[in-house]
Structure 1
Amino acid sequence: MSSETDEENVRTKGRRMPLAVFVLGLAVFCLNTTEVMVAGLLPSLSGGLDVPVTAAGNLVTVFALGMVFGGPVLTLALMKAPRKPAMVMMMVLFLVGQTIGALATAYWVMVVARVVTALATAAFFGLAASVCANLVPPDRIGSALAIVFGGFMVANVFGLPLATFIDQLMGWRAAFWAVDILVALCLLLVLIAVRRAPAPEGLDVRSELSVFRSGRLWGAFATNALLIGGVFATFAYLSPVLTGLAGFPEGAVPLLFVLYGVGTVIGNLVLGRLADAHTMRTLWLGGAVLTVLLGLYALVATSQVLSLAALFLLGCTGLPLNPAMAARVMSLSNSGALINTMNTATICAGITIGTWLAGAGIDAVGYRAPMGIGALLTLGALATLGIARITDRRTTDTGPCPAAPADRATTACV
């Protein structure tokens, strides 16, 4: 039976989510854990590499910049490659980079390791989202993406504390090796569970690049960067906010992150389903709730009870917007790996800007600043949605959306 027939069988096989979607979500969790875990290893990395803590902290920025600038270039180079071998190649490249990091004795070697793993992670995210979109019927893409992007969320909530615990128990190198082992296991699962996914036939690189001329697409990228940038402006500094303002003991912080994690799981299940049929409404509602929530959190951050409520609701309405954001980008362009990698790159740019602004705000006015800055960024995201709505109404009056494929013009213009 041909690979095309196999893929069609997967698309039409009842309503059960394919196992490959869950495998891809697990792989995203493992790869993204290496991005976020450095935040919990800073003291150990600083001592082990004999550099200031600020230099160790720059390893987070190095990874983000590698995803922003290098990921799309690498994905472009892989556009004509079959999808499954390309994903396997990126996982092997990640293993090489992670191993270099685990063995690093000099700071510059760790920088190289972070760049290599960032390139592999960014390209894998784009490929995984593209394969995922082709494993399920169109009306289930949002739900499938919720599972894949759920790996991203779990990495932030559980991967970081787990890596920190391993560091405290056995050292930072053990945390790097642990991720290496997990990714190696995921590589085997990908080889077994993910069906062959050939590159799209008749793929024209110039045509793929032409979609980036769309102002609507860049508007969607801007929305995504501002939404997640606003979330991470707060998330990156939750630990000092919870201990410094709310007065929680440091030992309680991991448990509080678990509460946040429960919120992301619940939000992901709900918003992932809404993303299938109500993409734009989900973004509008989520953005509005986030803006109000972050603004209120800045005001009540000294109350432990209200902080717990804000933490849980932030988990429910922040990162779980990822499936709706990705579905909107695909509706305005295509489900290719390059589009999804660019979406990841712009989100990483938003995270970099959001966390930098939050840090500067803390220096200026204290630990209420991250929530206030986050609210301003998500308010900016709502402004981009408003501009898109006005533009779409004008386009609807004069003709169909030129930026969207014919089979998705209605979705793009909602």
Structure 2
Amino acid sequence: MPVAIYLLSLCIFAMATSEFMVAGMMPSLAAAFQVSLPEVGNLVSAYAASVVVGGPVLTLWLRSVRRKPALLSLLALFLLGQLLGASADGYPLMLASRIVCGVAQSAFFGVALALAGELVGPGRIARAAGLVLNGLMLASVAGLPMAALLDQRWGWRVSFWLVAGLVGLAMLGIAALTPAGSAPARQEAGEEMRALARPALWAAYASSGLIIGSVFAVFTYLAPIFLQVSGFSAAMVPILFGAYGAATVLGNLLTSRLADRHTRRVLQGGILTLLVAMTALALGAQWQALTVTALFLLGLAGLPMNPAMVARVVRAGGSGAMVNSLHMAVINLGLMFGAWAGGLCLDAGWDLRAPVWLGAALALLAWLSLSLDRRGDSWQAKARPADVSV
């Protein structure tokens, strides 16, 4: 793999750490800005909303810019947002910081995946995407715990400054070691816009949104399930999440190697694994051994389906930045919906198993969306027949 792929992964790691770390320092931010915990939670929602809305708009504006200058511009915008957050002396400035970072991150994901596809060719798109998106997995395993530890020892600003420094370092690497990339021609841009009208592409988007929604309907409420249903001690919760993160990294490494040639099978196997794991967790969360097994399967088959989802989207709509940016927006919509709908289940008075059943229902819908889409252009457009097995 070209060294640029690993630099892009470093960028994604820094950006995802910035996105996740606010959730790990909510009490500190609430005390610093003298606001309530729900208001700090709105910082997370604002970030996700800016990814959904602002990213595609910025990507459209950058559609005629070469990949490398576009990446550097987006990294500079993200760095500006991160610096605003690090120096924020009030809640409004921190909110503005989150919005700027969210817009830059969404557009960066789209351009980064487009450049990755350009560098490696159609036969290795899923593997390259898996390596790029491995930064996302590592952010949950290492970035979030690191930020929480720094917050406890030296204050929340240290994490913001550290991420800003990491982004600056990544910018230098991109500037020195990444090819300029091609500038999308008008014909290519027009083809990409026409691709957005393809039903096969939106079927792929729907599957991605449902899969991620399924995962986060469960993931959001794992901590209280561990404590109140499975009976684990509070000291075990970080260890359990660490095991989940390790399974996620392992699963991503496996699927990134398989997804190019076996896209449909990876998605089918992953969704079935989610259904089995969620059903087992919903029925047997009172047994700790079963909970740990289900947790490992959730990590192995949930987020690691990202390379296969990217491969399917590329085959349906091409590897353009707008197609990938919209895919990231749909994934974030799924994330927001899963967490929100799981909360509605609890607000309705149901117990902590209800979000798990909701996750299983969304996974079943993802399976149906996959099963109903049997057309060849959903899976093999933009790829050589030898590259893809379905």
Alpha carbons of structure 1 residues 220 and 324: separation in structure 2 relative to 1, 3 Å: same
Shift of 1:103: 1.6
Q: Which amino acid aligns with 2:312?
A: R
Shift of 1:104: 1.5
Alignment-derived partner of residue 284 in structure 2: 300
Separation in 2 of the partners of 1:271 and 1:253? 27
Contact residue 67 and residue 122 of structure 1 kept, 8 A? yes
Shift of 1:407: 5.2
Q: TM-score, normalised by structure 1?
A: 0.89
Alpha carbons of structure 1 residues 117 and 402: separation in structure 2 relative to 1, 3 Å: closer
Alignment-derived partner of residue 194 in structure 1: 178
2:151 matches 1:167: yes
Separation in 2 of the partners of 1:360 and 1:135? 44
Q: Which amino acid aligns with 2:52?
A: V
Alignment-derived partner of residue 21 in structure 2: 37
Separation in 1 of the partners of 2:321 and 2:259? 20
Alignment-derived partner of residue 131 in structure 1: 115
2:104 matches 1:120: yes
Separation in 1 of the partners of 2:256 and 2:42? 33
- Count of aligned pairs between the two proteins: 389
Shift of 1:322: 0.1
Shift of 1:302: 2.0
Shift of 1:286: 0.7
| Structure 1: tracts of 5 or more residues without a match | 1-16
Contact residue 262 and residue 388 of structure 2 kept, 8 A? no
Alignment-derived partner of residue 184 in structure 1: 168
| Structure 2: tracts of 5 or more residues without a match | none
Alignment-derived partner of residue 351 in structure 2: 366
Per-residue CA shift, 1:122-158, capped at 9, x if unaligned?
0111111011111113222211111111111111232
Per-residue CA shift, 1:293-314, capped at 9, x if unaligned?
1121112212222221111111
Question: How does 1:319-398 map onto structure 2 within 5 Å?
Answer: 319-363=303-347, 364-389=349-374, 392=375
SS at match of 1:373: helix
Separation in 2 of the partners of 1:154 and 1:319? 12
Contact residue 312 and residue 379 of structure 2 kept, 8 A? no
Alpha carbons of structure 1 residues 24 and 404: separation in structure 2 relative to 1, 3 Å: same
Alignment-derived partner of residue 317 in structure 1: 301
Shift of 1:220: 0.5
Q: Which amino acid aligns with 1:183?
A: V
Shift of 1:246: 1.7
Shift of 1:199: 1.3
2:260 matches 1:276: yes
Separation in 2 of the partners of 1:243 and 1:38? 22
SS at match of 2:231: coil
Q: Which amino acid aligns with 1:386?
A: S
2:26 matches 1:26: no
Shift of 1:264: 1.1
Alignment-derived partner of residue 11 in structure 1: none
Per-residue CA shift, 1:82-128, capped at 9, x if unaligned?
10111011111001001111122222211111110001000111111
2:88 matches 1:104: yes
Which of 234, 240, 249 is 2:233 aligned to? 249
SS at match of 2:259: helix
SS at match of 1:167: helix
Shift of 1:410: 9.5
SS at match of 1:104: coil
Separation in 2 of the partners of 1:236 and 1:305? 20
Alignment-derived partner of residue 79 in structure 2: 95
Shift of 1:409: 8.4
Per-residue CA shift, 1:239-287, capped at 9, x if unaligned?
2221222222222222222111211121112111110101011111111
Q: TM-score, normalised by structure 2?
A: 0.95
Shift of 1:31: 0.6
Separation in 1 of the partners of 2:144 and 2:88? 20
2:35 matches 1:68: no
Shift of 1:45: 1.1
Per-residue CA shift, 1:204-224, capped at 9, x if unaligned?
544322211111111110100
